[in-house]
Every structure is written in C-alpha cells, then in structure tokens.
Chain A
Amino acid sequence: MDLKNVASLTYFCPEFILSATILILIILDLLAARQRRGLAMVALVGCVAVLIATLDLYSAQPGYLFHRMMILDNFSLFFKVVSLAAAILCIWMSLSSNEIKQVHEGEYYTLLLTCVLGMFFMASSCNLLMAYLSLELVSLTSYVLTGFLPHNRRSSEAALKYLIYGGVASGTMIYGMSWVYGMTGSLDYVAIQTALSQGPYNKAALFMAFIFILAGFGYKIVFVPFHMWSPDVYQGAPTPFTAFLSVASNASGIAIMIRFFYPGVSRLLPSGDWAFLSGVEWPQVLLFLSMITMTIGNLCALNQRNLKRMLAYSGIAHAGYMMMGLAVLNNDGLSAILFYVVVYLIMNVGAFLVVAMIANVTGDEDIETYRGLAWRGAIVPAVCMAVFLFSLTGLPPFAGFIGKFFLFSAVLKQGGAFGALALVAAINSVISLYYYAKVVKTMFLDMPNPEDKTISIAINDFTLLIPLTVLTVLFGVYFSPLVKYASQSLRFFIK
C-alpha cells in the first residue's frame, strides 16, 4: 500500500483528533479564562479519543502514507500508544500539581499536545526530512514547556540550556542527513537503501554521516556525550512535564532511531538477525556508547541530593541499558527495548508521581525532605516509591527486572564480546542499587526529625499511584501479554 495525499487521510484520524483538540483548547482558553479543571479534562478526553482512534488502526492494512513520507505499521502504532499513555498520565498528574497552578494552563496543555503530535510524526516518519521536522516540532515545544514556570530561574536556565544543546545536536544531524542525501540522492529510507545496496559508497563518509545523525537521535534518547542538558532540564521543568519528557521523548528518539538504522539502512535476515552495511560499523559505536552511557549515568547519580536530578541521571543510565538492545542487531534486542519502554513508562512516571505528590506538600525535591517519610503519615506513597525504585534497579518480582532480563538475554544470545557488555550492565545494576536504596533508606530507615511535618495525601492522588504500582508488580510476575505485544509491534512495513 502506497497512498497519495487524499487517500492517506483515512489513516490519519488520530492526528486529526489530536489537532482538533489542540485547536479547541486554544479557543476554550480564550473564551473561558482560568477554567483549570475544564481545560485539563478537554485535553484528557481528546487524548482518550486519540487513543481509541490509534488502536482502531491496528486493523488497517500497513503501508506508506503521503507519498512515502510516513508509514503506518505496528511499530509506529506502538510508539504512538506509548507517547499518548505518557501524555495522559502527565495531564492527570498536572491536575493536582501545585506547580502547574502557577502557569497559564491553556498554553500548557496546548503545547503538551502539540509535543505529542510531533511524537506521532516521529514514530511514523520514513523520510529523513520528515524525521527532522517531527523531531524539531517535539524539541521546540519541549523547550517552551521546560521554561514554563514563571519567575523560576532554574526553569529558565534549563530551557536555555536545552535550546542550545538541542540546536547544536539537530544542526549536526541535518548536516549528516545532507551527506546521506549527497551520497544516495534521496531522503526516502527505501530509496537510500536501494542506492546503497546497488552502487559503491564511500564507507568513511557514510560512517561519518551516521555518526552525525546519531548526535541528533542521541540527544533525544539522552545518551552520553549528548546528555548534558538532561539533569538541568529534569530539575528545572515542572514535574509532570519531566515525567512525560523522561519517557516519551526517550521513546520517540528510540523509535526514530530504530526506524532509520534497522529497516532504513540494514537488512533483516531470515534468522531474525539484521545485517548492517558492510564497512559501516555503527553497531560497535553504539556498543561502546551504551557502556559509557550507563556507567556515567549511574556514577553521576550516586551523589545527587535532588531527587529529580538523580532520576535524570538514572534516566541516562536506563537509556544506556536500552541501547544494548540497539547494538546487538537482532529482533530479540529490539523487542526487549520495546518491552523496556513500556515498563520504564510505568515505573518512571510512578516515581515522578510520588515526587510531585511530596513536592506538593513540602515544596521541595531534595532527598533530605523524604526523611522518615514512611513514619510521617505517608506510608503508602513511600511503599509505592520503594516499589518503583527497586523496579528501576531491576529486582524481582518487579517489572523492571523482567525488562532487564530480556535485554540481558538478547545481549548474551549474541555471545562473544557482547558478554563483556552484559557484564558491564550487570555491574551497573549493582551500582544503581546504591543510590536507589539511598532514597529508600531515607524514607524508611531514617527517623523523622521532630520539626518535620506530617504529610497528608489526598485520597484522589492515589487514583494514579495505586494502578501504576500494581502494574509494576503485575508485569514482574505475569508478563506474557506484554511480551507478545512487544514482539508483534516489531512488524515493520518495508517494501
């Protein structure tokens, strides 16, 4: 299926609904000033409608849309569902967040949904130009949302840093894309592959082009050395948006990267392994970057005092774990990444949710403010936080363990030098235990000071927390459906 513009519109329903919701939000914002809950509800209903429309597309025939600018297949639908889920959770969190009360909500939700729209395009783009444009759409909205807290120096600083890093990274990326275009004469992934498989190509030049492109993707996935922006942004941005960014931005980066490096420039062998272009050794670069990313992320997280900043470094480490799956060049690795993305969505948003809940009461995100949390009337959030943190560490019986288990098994299946990668990752898990357990220690093992106030949590805050905790445990014990979903989402449409 290779559709022209008008014919494609039938399969563009989710994006239409999303755009309509964005427009309605803008208009409503003008008409009904400061109707906080109403706007959020409209955004939420819009997202649910988009979700239904997206799920509906699973029954459609996969194919190209808009003159091969975009693609409709299980893989793109998977990432659309993930970014939508993150958006829904983020809006829900924003409802009860004190931080968001200070801002102009109409713009906040509008920008958030625009960011989701960009992620939809990222998930389905199969043309370098489209990839670049969608990535920029996500980046631009993210810059604004990061700096959204008025009169907050940290927030403004974070936005500026994000902008500068983002500008450099995307500039580098588009430079790399221009090299690819120069060598192949096309921006379309299929045409690029055809050109590369037919004619001779300059290996060194292509390798450099790939590295440049990697810079742009790497900045979205947050891997070393493109990670500098993330701790400041995580710390400075409003917490609900940080939760969204940490998961959805990472996931979209992974989507666009898999799409380009796997079906784009590699070939699938019948065994389920992928063959890369001979002489262009990007998997090895990823292998080393993956080791460095997880190590640096974990080591930097060890001494953080601010919980959001610590979670930023832990996010870098998790990006490193996920990259293991990208470096191994087999379908097991890819489906392990998809599984991990879902699990990471649940546990990371859960952790940020607790951060937001506690910050609503104490107004602070320092780990020190969590002192004796369990004994200060907040035993349920403390237990949930412990579950999320241990899941992030990768301990059974939590979902994070299963995610890591699949990644490790994909790596060990390749054998040989990948054994070293698995070993590095395993030791990194031990290092990460130290800082996750430090938070747990502060919450449970330390006794509260007399002047620490009791924390009372409203019942409706638990509506999101409890389901996320239950899912974290459930997917640690019974994960067959999720495994199936991840491996089915690996069906790329390639012509």
Chain B
Amino acid sequence: MDNVLTYMTFIPVAGAAVVLALPNNAKLIRWVSAAATVPPLLLAIWLFKNFDRAKAGFQFIEDYYWIPSFNISYTMGVDGLSISMILLTALLSFICIFASFGIEKAVKGYFALFLLLDAGMMGVFCALDFFLFYVFWEVMLLPMYFLIGIWGGPRREYAAIKFFLYTLFGSVLMLLAILALYFTTNPHTFDMRIMMAQANNYSTTVLPIWPFNHLRWGFQHVIWMALFIGFAIKIPAFPFHTWLPDAHVEAPTAISVILAGVLLKMGTYGILRTNFPMLPAATADMAYWLLGALGAWNIIYGALCAMAQKDLKKLVAYSSVSHMGYVMLGMASFTTQGLNGAVLQMFNHGTITGMLFLLVGVIYDRAHHREIEGFGGIAAIMPVYTGVTALAFFASMGLPGLSGFISEVLVLLGTWQKYPVLTICGASGVILTAGYLLWTIQRVFLGPPNEKYLKMPEINGREMFTLVPLGAIVILVGIYPSVVLDLLRASLDQINQVIIPHL
C-alpha cells in the first residue's frame, strides 16, 4: 500500500467535493459524509496493524517535489506518536459525523466543512515537511471558524472570531520561526527530518535581546519560544486558554468533540514533533518553567475553574485545560514513564473528553439547557445514560481500571523522579478533579428527580453508537495499556535521547 497517508488525508477532501455536488437531500448528504470518513478509519487501523513497533524513526514515507526552487517538498510519514493521534482523529471524525446527524441548518455546508476539517487534521499529523505542516495547520482554521460561527450557540460569532484570532496569532509566530529555521539549516530546507538531524547546529550563543538580556537566550531559545507560543495557544496553556471555554460552549456538540479531542492535541503534538527534536538545548532549558510548572499550574487552575462552573459544557471545557496540564507536566520530565504517560494522556483525553462532550450533547438535545443546577435525579429517569456518564466521569477522574488512571499515574511517576514539588501539585489536581466531577454527579444525577424532566426519553441507538466505541477503548486501554504504549515506546525514546545530553 503506497501513499496510504495521502489517501487518508485526501479522501475526506474528495468526500467534501462529492457532498457539494449532491442534491439538497439531508439524509443522502449525511450518509455520504459518513461513508467518506470510513476509509481513513480503516486505513488508520491498517497503519496501526502494520506499523513496525521495534523501529524508531518515520515509516510509510512519501516524498515528492512540490516547489523545488524553495526546497519545499510534499513529505509525509508517521511514527508511533503520529499514529496514535491519527487513530484518534479518524475515530473521532467518524463518530462525530453520526453525532452531527441532528444538524438541520445548511446541511450540505456543514458536512463539507467538517470533511475539510478532517483532512486538515490528518494532514497535520502526517506532514513531515514544515511548510506542509503549516499549510495543514492553517487550513484547519477556516472550516473551524465557519463550523463554530454558523452552527454554534447564541454567542457563536464572538467565540468563532476569538478562536480564529488567537490561533492565527500563534501561527504567524510559528511561520516566522519556520522561516528562521529554514535559513539556518544547511542546505536550506523545510524537511523536518533534516532539521532534526541538524538539531545541534542551531546556535545557542547568547543574543542581546532587549529587554530580555538576563534570560541569556540564544537563537534556539527565541525560535523555541515562537513555536511554543503557537502551540501553547492550541493546547491551551495558561494564559492563552481563554478562547477555549468560549469556543466549546458555543460550538455544536460534534465540533466540541473535535476541538477537545483532536485540536488540543495538536499543540502538544507540535511541541513533541518540532520543539523537542529540533531544538533540544532550548527544550532542556525551558522545560521546567514553561512545560512543567505551567503544566502543574494548568492542572490546578483548570480544576478550580471547572469547579466554579454552572454550565455543564464549560465545566468539561475547563476540565480539558486541567487534563492537558498532565500532558505538559509529563513532557517536561524527560523520563520514559513521563513521556509515554503524556502521550497516552493525549490519547486518553481525546476519547474521554469526546465522550463527555457527546454526553453533554445528549442531555442538551433533550432539556435545551446545560445548567448543572437545573437538573437533579436524572439517574432515575435515564438509567442507561447515567451509567455511561458515570463511566466517562470515572475515567476522567482517573479511577483504576480505566484509561485515565494509567496515563496520569505514568505522568506522576515520571515526574516524581525529577520535580517532586510539581508532582505534588499535579497529584493534588487529581483530588480537585474528583471533587468537581463527583459534585456534578451528585447535582445532576442523584437526589429527587426534577418534575420537568420526568418524561425525558432515554439515550437512543444513534447516540449509543457514538459512545460505545469510545467507552470500549477507555476500558481496554485501562486494562491493557500496552495496546497504545507499545506503539509509542520506540518513537518517544528516540525523541528523549536527543534531549538527555542537554539536561
């Protein structure tokens, strides 16, 4: 199977074109869109099966000239890190199409944009050429802007433009950093593999950067910061996180799932793919404060904010801020457990938060509001729904036997060896998380049933269909985490080995 990555990326684009050409029949459009997300999912599973886990480095490489005069090429390739993200993307895209079946307004436009978004996300995780990576990174923005802006909630315009401006601000800095790297690499190229091979050639000589002279930053550090800000906005790391609650609350359910499940991962994926292997000296210098301490702060800050929320969706959104903090914390540790835990946490957070947003969507479709205080006693009215929600909440909380537990423990184990104080902060986040989630369960599901919702119908077959695969993965990874960890080990070790000499 040659060019499998290209097929995976561009089949959704072809799907979008077909959807646009279809007559205005909502049912037909829905099913054609669903069909367009099946091949990428199958190909992702094929990749997962055929990926050689023993080998570090990139596999399934495709390399074609694009703009020879500027040494820009169309290069795609994957390692264990990318495959885990591709799997997540393919699965969530497939599921979210079904979660979007309730969309009534401008159906054709919605599904076409959704498929374009899918293609952009796939492209980001497959690209090995920095220029190509940037193009996919930006291509994703446009569909996202429209999906939030047209099909979102009451304050959708504000949320959409805020998301757009924040992300674009990050990406223009990234673009400048990419160009600076291009001109420092010899020969000039955008090929990430060559940049990684020349990682030690990028200068660390202290530059006079007024008014930051005392930081003793070199070229590597400046580039690192520019890339980091671009990625941190996506993660979203404090203080760049403020777009996230707005975007999540306004976005339609499926788009929230994609936002939390895939888009946030791009931030940490980008740091692992570019900052770590290309700028190892700067990574070693910056990691403690900008990944470790900021990650720990994210955990606590996000959890505290989540606790204060009255809106169920906003609560889940802030819980994402908190959970992404574990990823940053684990990355900063430069230990095998820490890094593996971080990436596993990325994967797990994608599935768990995906479930949470879908579940919020289910109840919102029935009650037409998301006020935590407005429910009560749902357990008696919708027992199956309550069961699934409990599974997702417990996974998010890190209950042993479910996937969230494994990744959080790995992160904390890895970090403890290096930064005990940060680990304690991070671990206290677990308690806060348990606090707000259990409190929410109590307020929404327990107690006497609310009179208004006695007639609320139980979760239906389509909704279960979107939740079951995610629930199964949560349990499977919780019991047998090696499914994912085997995939990651070699690739992450290789990334780690580059940095360890600089610590």
Q: Which residues from 442 to 495 on chain A have a C-beta closer than 8 Å to any C-beta of chain B?
A: 444-446, 479-480, 483-484
Complex Cα distance A375/B105, Å? 11
Q: Which of A397, A415, A433 contacts B168 (CB 8 A)?
A: A433
Given contacts A427-B172, A480-B69, contact A433 B183 (CB under 8 A): no
* Residue B161 CB within 8 A of the other chain: yes
As a 0/1 sequence over residues 155 to 184 of chain B, the CB contacts with chain A under 8 angstroms (1 = contact) are 011001100110011001101100110110
Complex Cα distance A419/B161, Å? 28
Q: Which residues from 385 to 438 on chain A have a C-beta closer than 8 Å to any C-beta of chain B?
A: 390, 395-397, 401, 405, 408-409, 412-413, 415, 419, 422-423, 426-427, 429-430, 433-434, 437
Contact B175 A408 (CB under 8 A): yes
* Residue A441 CB within 8 A of the other chain: yes
The 5 residue pairs across chains A and B that have the minimum distance between CB atoms: A426-B172, A396-B135, A445-B149, A412-B179, A396-B138
CB pairs A–B below 8 angstroms (9 shown): A401-B138, A405-B175, A430-B165, A430-B172, A433-B165, A441-B149, A445-B150, A480-B68, A483-B70
Contact A437 B69 (CB under 8 A): no
Contact A483 B150 (CB under 8 A): no
Complex Cα distance A422/B156, Å? 32
Q: Which residues from 8 to 66 on chain B have a C-beta closer than 8 Å to any C-beta of chain A?
A: none
Contact A413 B175 (CB under 8 A): no
Q: How far, in Å, is B334 (CB) from chain A's closest CB?
A: 30
* Residue B141 CB within 8 A of the other chain: yes
B contact residues around A413 at 8 Å (CB): 183
B contact residues around A412 at 8 Å (CB): 176, 179-180, 183
Given A444-B146, A479-B67, A483-B67, 7 new contacts (CB under 8 A): A396-B134, A405-B179, A426-B175, A433-B164, A433-B168, A444-B150, A480-B69
Complex Cα distance A441/B138, Å? 18
Bin the interface of chain B by size.
20 to 34
Q: How far, in Å, is B24 (CB) from chain A's closest CB?
A: 12
Q: Which residues from 347 to 382 on chain A have a C-beta closer than 8 Å to any C-beta of chain B?
A: 375
Complex Cα distance A154/B156, Å? 37
B contact residues around A395 at 8 Å (CB): 138, 141-142, 168
B contact residues around A401 at 8 Å (CB): 135, 138
* Residue B276 CB within 8 A of the other chain: no
B contact residues around A375 at 8 Å (CB): 106
Contact B182 A409 (CB under 8 A): yes
Contact B182 A390 (CB under 8 A): no
B contact residues around A415 at 8 Å (CB): 183
Complex Cα distance A237/B174, Å? 40
Q: How far, in Å, is A240 (CB) from chain B's closest CB?
A: 29
Complex Cα distance A46/B172, Å? 44
Complex Cα distance A152/B213, Å? 59
B contact residues around A397 at 8 Å (CB): 135, 139
User: In the complex, what residue of chain B is closest to A406 when comparing beta carbons?
Assistant: B70
Complex Cα distance A416/B379, Å? 64
* Residue B145 CB within 8 A of the other chain: yes
Complex Cα distance A409/B138, Å? 18
B contact residues around A390 at 8 Å (CB): 142
B contact residues around A480 at 8 Å (CB): 67-69
Q: Which of B69, B134, B160, B180 contacts A445 (CB 8 A)?
A: B160
Q: How far, in Å, is A411 (CB) from chain B's closest CB?
A: 9
B contact residues around A423 at 8 Å (CB): 176
Q: Which of B68, B134, B161 has the most A CB atoms < 10 Å from its CB?
A: B161
Complex Cα distance A396/B127, Å? 15
Complex Cα distance A415/B176, Å? 11
Contact A437 B172 (CB under 8 A): no
Contact A437 B68 (CB under 8 A): no
Complex Cα distance A67/B106, Å? 65
A contact residues around B134 at 8 Å (CB): 396
Complex Cα distance A415/B223, Å? 13
Q: Which of B142, B164, B165, B175 has the most A CB atoms < 10 Å from its CB?
A: B175
Q: How far, in Å, is A406 (CB) from chain B's closest CB?
A: 8
A contact residues around B165 at 8 Å (CB): 430, 433-434
As a 0/1 sequence over residues 200 to 230 of chain A, the CB contacts with chain B under 8 angstroms (1 = contact) are 0000000000000000000000000000000
Q: How far, in Å, is B465 (CB) from chain A's closest CB?
A: 31
Q: How far, in Å, is A332 (CB) from chain B's closest CB?
A: 10
Contact B69 A484 (CB under 8 A): yes
Q: Which of A405, A441, A479 contacts B161 (CB 8 A)?
A: A441
Q: How far, in Å, is B182 (CB) from chain A's closest CB?
A: 7
Complex Cα distance A390/B146, Å? 13
Contact A434 B69 (CB under 8 A): no
Contact A437 B179 (CB under 8 A): no
User: In the complex, what residue of chain A is closest to B209 when comparing beta carbons?
Assistant: A419
A contact residues around B138 at 8 Å (CB): 395-396, 401
Given contacts A396-B138, A479-B67, A483-B69, contact A434 B179 (CB under 8 A): no
Q: Which residues from 212 to 268 on chain A have a C-beta closer than 8 Å to any C-beta of chain B?
A: none
B contact residues around A419 at 8 Å (CB): 176, 180
Contact A408 B161 (CB under 8 A): no
A contact residues around B69 at 8 Å (CB): 480, 483-484
Contact A444 B149 (CB under 8 A): yes
Contact A430 B67 (CB under 8 A): no
Complex Cα distance A430/B141, Å? 13
B contact residues around A427 at 8 Å (CB): 169, 172
Contact B168 A430 (CB under 8 A): yes
Complex Cα distance A240/B145, Å? 31
A contact residues around B135 at 8 Å (CB): 396-397, 401
Complex Cα distance A429/B172, Å? 8
Q: How far, in Å, is A100 (CB) from chain B's closest CB?
A: 34
Complex Cα distance A430/B68, Å? 29
Complex Cα distance A451/B142, Å? 30
User: In the complex, what residue of chain A is closest to B137 when comparing beta carbons?
Assistant: A396
Complex Cα distance A347/B403, Å? 50
Q: How far, in Å, is B417 (CB) from chain A's closest CB?
A: 39
Complex Cα distance A479/B68, Å? 11
User: In the complex, what residue of chain A is closest to B183 when comparing beta carbons?
Assistant: A413
Contact A430 B149 (CB under 8 A): no
Q: How far, in Å, is A398 (CB) from chain B's closest CB?
A: 9
Q: Which of A397, A426, A434 has the most B CB atoms < 10 Å from its CB?
A: A426
Complex Cα distance A266/B209, Å? 32
Q: How far, in Å, is A251 (CB) from chain B's closest CB?
A: 23
Complex Cα distance A405/B134, Å? 11
Complex Cα distance A479/B72, Å? 11
Complex Cα distance A84/B109, Å? 38
Complex Cα distance A445/B183, Å? 41
Q: How far, in Å, is B258 (CB) from chain A's closest CB?
A: 19
Q: Which of B139, B156, B157, B169 contacts A430 (CB 8 A)?
A: B169
Q: Which of A408, A422, A430 has the most B CB atoms < 10 Å from its CB?
A: A430
User: In the complex, what residue of chain B is closest to A409 when comparing beta carbons?
Assistant: B179
Q: How far, in Å, is A246 (CB) from chain B's closest CB?
A: 24
Complex Cα distance A483/B156, Å? 40
Complex Cα distance A484/B67, Å? 11
Q: How far, in Å, is A345 (CB) from chain B's closest CB?
A: 21
Q: How far, in Å, is B232 (CB) from chain A's closest CB?
A: 16
A contact residues around B146 at 8 Å (CB): 444
Q: How far, in Å, is B204 (CB) from chain A's closest CB?
A: 17
Q: How far, in Å, is A42 (CB) from chain B's closest CB?
A: 40
As a 0/1 sequence over residues 124 to 146 of chain B, the CB contacts with chain A under 8 angstroms (1 = contact) are 00000000001100110110011
Complex Cα distance A483/B179, Å? 18
Q: How far, in Å, is B387 (CB) from chain A's closest CB?
A: 38
User: In the complex, what residue of chain B is closest to A414 when comparing beta carbons?
Assistant: B183
Complex Cα distance A365/B463, Å? 46
B contact residues around A434 at 8 Å (CB): 161, 165
Complex Cα distance A444/B157, Å? 10
Contact B168 A445 (CB under 8 A): no
User: In the complex, what residue of chain B is closest to A484 when comparing beta carbons?
Assistant: B69
User: In the complex, what residue of chain A is closest to B132 when comparing beta carbons?
Assistant: A396
Contact A437 B164 (CB under 8 A): yes
B contact residues around A484 at 8 Å (CB): 69
A contact residues around B175 at 8 Å (CB): 405, 408, 426
Complex Cα distance A426/B145, Å? 20
A contact residues around B142 at 8 Å (CB): 390, 395
B contact residues around A444 at 8 Å (CB): 146, 149-150
